Structures are given as C-alpha cells and as structure tokens.
Amino acid sequence: MKDPISLERGLALYRTMTRIRAFENAAEEASKGGVAAFGASLADAQVRGPLHLSTGQEAVAAGVCIHLARTDLMTSTHRGHGHTIAKGASIAAMMGELFGRASGFNGGKGGSMHIADFSVGMLGANGVVAAGIPIAVGAAHALKVRSETGIVACFFGDGAINRGPFLEGLNWAAIHRLRVLFVCEDNRWSATTATDAMTAGDGALARAQAIGVPGEQVDGNDVFAVAGATAQLIAQVRSGAGPRVLHAITYRVKGHVSVDPATYRDGEEVDRALEDDPIPAAHAHLLSMGASKQQLEAIRAEAEAEVDAALKAAAAADWPDRSAAYTDIQDTGAGRWLG
C-alpha cells in the first residue's frame, strides 16, 4: 500500500477514530431502553429515540475529514456522529444534544439525527436518506457564486444511491463543475435489508462514472487507504476539475438503530466484520510506522476521559425552556400567531 501519511497524521487519524468509538459506545449505553421499536420498550433513557451508530465505520469519517479545513463545508446523514466529530465539532456539545439539553449544539431541538455545528462548517445530519446530497450541492454552488475556494464533503450511505437526489445532485455538481467530494460510506445495509439485494449494477462509483463523475473505490476499513485516496480526489476537487466520488466499502457492525439486535443477519458475516475492525488495524499499522504502544494507549485513554466528562456535563446540563419549542421557526408573523 502506498503510504503518504506521516506518523503525526497517522496518530491524528487514530485519535479521531478512537474519539468517535468512545463517543458512540457511551451514547449507545445511554440510549438503552430509549426506543419503542425492535421489541424494546420506551423507558427512561438519557438518549431518546433512534440512535444510528457508525461503529466499525470510523475510518471513513477520519480518513476523509483529515483533509478538510475548518472553512470547508460538510453534510452528513442519520448515521453522522463520526463525520461530525471528525469535522471538529465538540464532543461535549454533541452529547448535550443527544441528551436533549440546552447545552447541545441545537439546544435540544434536533438530537442525533439533526446534529449540526455551523461553526465548523457542519451543515447538518439529516433524517431523510439522500437529502443531504442536494444541500451539499447547493452549498457548493453558493461557494461558486461568491467565488470562495472552499469545498463541500457530502457523506451518504449505500441506500442513498437508489434515491433520485443521488442522480440529480451528481449531475448538477458535474454540469456546474462544483467543488464537492461525494463520499458513499457503503456499510452494505439499508436499514434491515441487504443493499445488494435492492441495488442493480455495481454501486455508487459505477453510477457516478456513468455520468462522467470520476472517483475511486477504497477499503473503507483501512484509514490509511481512505486518507490516501481522499488526498488525491480532494486535490482534484480543489483544483476546480469538478466533483469526485469516493466509494468506501465498510460494514455496519451494529443494528440499524442502537437497540436493533440485527438478528436478520448471518452471524458469520458479523464475525468477519468484527475481525476487520478498523481501529485495531490502524493500531497495528501505526506500531509498524514507529508509534509506541504507550502513545496509542494514551490517545485511547484521553478519548475515554473526554467522553466521560461529556457524559457528566450532559447529565448535569439544563433542559431547554418550554418556550424554545416556539422559537427559530419563522420571523414572519412571529408573536402574532402560533395557530
């Protein structure tokens, strides 16, 4: 494998992945009993509602976002914690949002599926599959109108390529030569159905190439491969050559939502995926690059400590005031009319 990544950058990738993993493990634990579906009952839980985990997919978020500047923009999906953390959002404000507290990025109005941090260019996760694609395209178009040089990273899943906005958005970005890197984080499952069974042809990259948008397919569990492929694609995007697609093949280790036991899957398939965990793989690779075990352990421990502090802060934070249910909706007629 070509290895253009320095040890310092490699450690940064590892840090991002371990922070995502620690955050999601803690959020998963805090969500137990929080969803009235998949046989679970709706009981008191710190994190309410559906929580879509990207456990095992961290290499994609880390490997792409290491190439983004704070001023670059991003759209994400319902499975977006990893992208948000990798873009530089505060873990404490994310946990606050998952806990529904006023301290959260969205003041408790959005939760996991709508998490956003505009201060780092993270323009929102999205509860609708493929809905972030046109938004990313429009954000890139705004950069073009204003002659700004930033780019937009647009994350979506394998299920999204079967929705119309995938074709529409790629076509739009191509004809207007917009600076978008489309990232298909292909975890091979569309909710509780195998994507393969529902998808004709060869997937995201093949479809993109058919309309003249080049790209690369990469092992999404190899953070160094993701980072290496992204470096080249983003250089092309920044040069104004038009949009590019990164098709990263990974695997959704957890169920569709945190309380989904995913019993519809072949256990051996999951076992194989667990052996292909991107974090131990990166650990081994970093040792071979000269990192020490202590160094890597310190990074992991730091991530755990950061998440512990975020959990404590979120649990202690204030609830939003009920009046917040009526704000940030529209200014026209505000105060005159609630209906």
Selected from 149, 193, 263, 327, the binder of another protein by CB under 8 A is: 327
**By CB under 8 A, how many residues form the interface with another protein?**
50
Binding to another protein in span 148-167, by CB under 8 A: 164-165
Binding to another protein in span 266-285, by CB under 8 A: none
Shortest CB 180 distance to another protein, Å? 10
End-to-end CA separation in angstroms for the chain: 61
Tokens of 50: 């559906």
Rounded Cα distance between 17 and 59, Å, is 6
Helix axes 223-238, 7-30, angle to 10 degrees: 110
108 binds another protein (CB under 8 A): yes
94 binds another protein (CB under 8 A): no
Part in contact with another protein (CB under 8 A); list of ranges 49-57, 136-144, 225-233, 263-271: 136-144
Selected from 18, 31, 76, 106, the binder of another protein by CB under 8 A is: 106
Rounded Cα distance between 307 and 9, Å, is 22
Shortest CB 182 distance to another protein, Å? 13
Query: Which are the contacts of 163, defined by CB distance < 8 A and separation ≥ 6?
Result: 129, 130
Rounded Cα distance between 143 and 120, Å, is 16
Q: Which is nearer to another protein, 114 or 238 (CB)?
A: 114
Selected from 9, 32, 109, 238, the binder of another protein by CB under 8 A is: 109
Binding to another protein in span 172-231, by CB under 8 A: 172, 175
Rounded Cα distance between 324 and 329, Å, is 10
Looking at residue 117, the DSSP 8-state letter turns out to be B
Tokens of 253: 């280790």
Rounded Cα distance between 142 and 147, Å, is 8
Where on the chain is the footprint of another protein (CB under 8 A)? 73, 75, 104-110, 114, 116-118, 123-124, 126-128, 131, 133-146, 164-165, 168-169, 171-172, 175, 327-333, 336-337, 339
